[in-house]
Amino acid sequence: MLLRLILIILLLALVLVNHFEMFSIYNTKINKCKGKKDGDSGCRKCCSQFTNAITRKQCIALCMT
Domain ranges of the chain: 2-64
Q: Which of 24, 49, 25 is nearest to 63 (CA)?
A: 49
Q: Which of 60, 8, 52, 10 is nearest to 30 (CA)?
A: 60
pLDDT at 64: 85
The string of pLDDT tens digits covering residues 18-52 is: 555 455 556 677 888 888 887 657 788 888 888 88
- Please give the model's pTM, rounded to 2 decimal places: 0.53
